Structure 1
Amino acid sequence: MNFDFSGKRALVTGAGAGIGRATALKLAELGAQVIALSRTKAHLDSLKQENPSIEIICVDLVEWSTTREAIKKVTPIHLLVNNAGICLQTPLLDATPEQFDLIFNVNLKAIMNVSQIVVADLLERNLKGNIVNVSSLASHRGVANFFLYAASKSAVDSFTKTMALELSPKGIRVNAVNPTVVMTEMGRHVWSDKEKSEAVLARIPQGKFVEKLDVVNGIVFLLSDNSDMINGHMLLIEGGLRCC
């Protein structure tokens, strides 16, 4: 398969670390002009050092108006990866309104905000585009003690399906990737409890957690013309994880 994004402008949110950073670097390697967005300046500076061709934007996606103004300055965007997200351990009985607002503002509301600006600009310019939302297997299976996170990712899947229906007639495809535990810094922290992690590993036939590159490869495929007839799809990246 040919993965050549020359002449395409790509925006990756949450690009300072983890899946987002790896995605930004891969897309740049494949010829895209990459704009990396993160709220952490030090992470962006480090990314810029690693690949000086990447343009960086430091903004907190919780800030609605500031985000919109920042995105408008870098359009057009042909390839959008809505990757930014947070994961908090929130059992049902312990979840707070503040945690609810934070998780849904970052994991969901930010997707709406960024996508509105990118899509409106593409339509105005009569350009085609591709969007990939980074969701989670938690939207399909649920994860005990991650009540709010799982709910937010279920909403991301719903966003994805509805966006695809609305936008594909206009030349913009929308898909999602839904990985299980990914060995990012956040993933290692959340799943550092050996007893908890081994219980999940025992249900994965391949006997290992997902690595960043596994997710990046899925994102790249969905952004490319190789997946032209894949639309409104949730790509599970979980090594055949058994339900029980």
Structure 2
Amino acid sequence: MTENEFQNKTVCVTGAGRGIGKALALRLAELGAKVIAISKSDENLKQLVALNNKISPVCVDLCDWNATKEAIKPHLPIQLLVNNAAVAILHPFLEVKPEDFDVLFNVNVRSIICVSQEIARDLIERKLPGSIVNVSSQASAAGLKDHSIYCSSKAAVDGLTRVMALELGPHNIRVNSVQPTVVLTEMGRIGWSDETKAAGMLSKIPLHRFAEVDDVVEPIIYLLSNRSAMINGVGLPIDGGFLAT
């Protein structure tokens, strides 16, 4: 990383209260960025700020379009954005409920549009460059049992990423996505603690391991940085080779 590259840059991270978002917010703050951390959990934000009091917490429900835009405005301009917030509701296809569909697409897709619009419009007006990273999943490109809506929402994230890259690129705003496999966050360790369940997924990953949080954080930082200045519209698998099999 170029020395001081993130100094004087404002970075917004959604879903920053825990997991990948939390680790990413802390790492970016360590690199000197001014970090705007968005979460709907005030308690999670308090715990994050306790670890680094230079991080600016923003507590808002990303499903609330107008409240989200109003919460972002005081922090503009924001040159770097990571749309990390997501939820998963797992059911067999024949048991999918319309309300589950609405929740997943509101958080996993619609919130990306909401946050990115507000930030990108401001950058264009100020004629500033930017970089946006959308956190997708290997589930965007592979069918996973009981993941009907989740897979659909993440495929939508990758489609959205390509169009954003096409339309925002002429304004010097790059947009890419990352596609992690199972990530061993606190929740991930609990969810995949069953050895039989884990073995089925691990057998499809050539590196035969799940991702640690830093395995995802560092590629995101690379895509935010000037080192990836010619990378735009890409979906980057972080899956140990899962999608290659």
User: Distance between the aligned counterparts of 1:192 and 1:161, measured in 2?
Assistant: 35
User: Distance between the aligned counterparts of 1:68 and 1:90, measured in 2?
Assistant: 32
Is 1:41 aligned with 2:42? yes
Q: In structure 1, what is the equivalent of residue 191 of structure 2?
A: 190
Q: Is contact 2:138-2:243 (8 Å) kept?
A: no
Q: CA deviation at 1:243?
A: 6.0
When the two chains are superposed, the root-mean-square deviation of aligned CA atoms in Å is: 1.2
Following superposition of structure 1 onto structure 2, how do residues 117-136 of structure 1 map, counting pairs within 5 Å?
Answer: 117-136=118-137
Number of residue pairs the alignment of both structures matches: 244
Q: In structure 1, what is the equivalent of residue 19 of structure 2?
A: 18
Q: CA deviation at 1:242?
A: 5.9
Q: Is contact 1:179-1:215 (8 Å) kept?
A: yes
User: Distance between the aligned counterparts of 1:186 and 1:113, measured in 2?
Assistant: 26
User: Distance between the aligned counterparts of 1:157 and 1:19, measured in 2?
Assistant: 18
Q: CA deviation at 1:208?
A: 1.1
Aligned to 1:73, what secondary structure does the other structure show?
helix
Following superposition of structure 1 onto structure 2, how do residues 47-126 of structure 1 map, counting pairs within 5 Å?
Answer: 47-126=48-127
User: Distance between the aligned counterparts of 1:229 and 1:102, measured in 2?
Assistant: 34
| CA shift digits 1:43-73 (9 cap, x unpaired) | 1001101001000000110111111100111
Q: CA deviation at 1:142?
A: 1.8
Q: Which deviates further from its counterpart, 17-26 or 188-197?
A: 188-197
Aligned to 2:141, what secondary structure does the other structure show?
helix
Aligned-residue sequence identity (percent) comes to 52
Q: In structure 1, what is the equivalent of residue 159 of structure 2?
A: 158
Q: Which residue type is aligned with residue 156 of structure 1?
A: V
Q: CA deviation at 1:154?
A: 0.1
Aligned to 1:35, what secondary structure does the other structure show?
strand
Aligned to 1:141, what secondary structure does the other structure show?
coil
Q: Which residue type is aligned with residue 126 of structure 2?
A: R
User: Distance between the aligned counterparts of 1:51 and 1:75, measured in 2?
Assistant: 21
User: Distance between the aligned counterparts of 1:141 and 1:177, measured in 2?
Assistant: 14
Q: Which residue type is aligned with residue 81 of structure 1?
A: V
Q: CA deviation at 1:203?
A: 2.2
Q: Is contact 2:237-2:243 (8 Å) kept?
A: no
User: Distance between the aligned counterparts of 2:92 and 2:232, measured in 1?
Assistant: 33
Q: In structure 2, what is the equivalent of residue 2 of structure 1?
A: 2
Q: CA deviation at 1:90?
A: 2.0
Q: 1:7 to 1:135 in 2, by over 3 A?
A: same
Aligned to 1:36, what secondary structure does the other structure show?
strand
Q: CA deviation at 1:23?
A: 0.7
TM-score where L is the length of structure 1 = 0.97
User: Distance between the aligned counterparts of 2:14 and 2:86, measured in 1?
Assistant: 9
Aligned to 1:121, what secondary structure does the other structure show?
helix
Q: CA deviation at 1:187?
A: 2.0
Q: In structure 1, what is the equivalent of residue 211 of structure 2?
A: 210
User: Distance between the aligned counterparts of 2:235 and 2:219, measured in 1?
Assistant: 11
Q: Which residue type is aligned with residue 168 of structure 2?
A: L
Uncovered stretches (5+) of structure 2, i.e. residues with no partner: none
User: Distance between the aligned counterparts of 1:237 and 1:101, measured in 2?
Assistant: 27
Q: 1:126 to 1:243 in 2, by over 3 A?
A: closer
Q: CA deviation at 1:241?
A: 2.0
Is 1:234 aligned with 2:229? no
Q: CA deviation at 1:103?
A: 0.4
TM-score where L is the length of structure 2 = 0.96
User: Distance between the aligned counterparts of 1:123 and 1:242, measured in 2?
Assistant: 35
User: Distance between the aligned counterparts of 1:242 and 1:103, measured in 2?
Assistant: 23
